[in-house]
Structure 1
């Protein structure tokens, strides 16, 4: 298998930079995912300490919602009024 790859690279040397950047990108993505998984804010991955994290939320917990403010008076209707 490795011998075939070496012969292919010898035949097409333009593949070397492409393979380098592909491997660099994949390695960077892998390291980024590992860093995210070990972060202090990730509690869902720790099943031993907190198997159901949604049960610890009290009614006063402030959820993060996306609020888009729109002035409804200036919206244009596309359809007919019935």
Structure 2
């Protein structure tokens, strides 16, 4: 695949920005999916040792990538301990 892209880029240099944007977008989407799969508390890969990973997050812990107007340090605990 990369050999073919390299061959086309040599013959048509105007395609280089297109290839750069496609590769950058693919890498960004892959990294975001990896972050969702590994860092999201709703996803549980180890069900034997930690069946409910969302209970380990403190009430002031931020797990979202981007929080609009939310100060997590001022939140109070609103869930029971198990």
Q: What's the TM-score, normalizing by structure 1?
A: 0.47
User: Larger relative contact order (C-alpha < 8 A, sep ≥ 6)?
Assistant: 2
Point out the structure with the larger helix share.
2
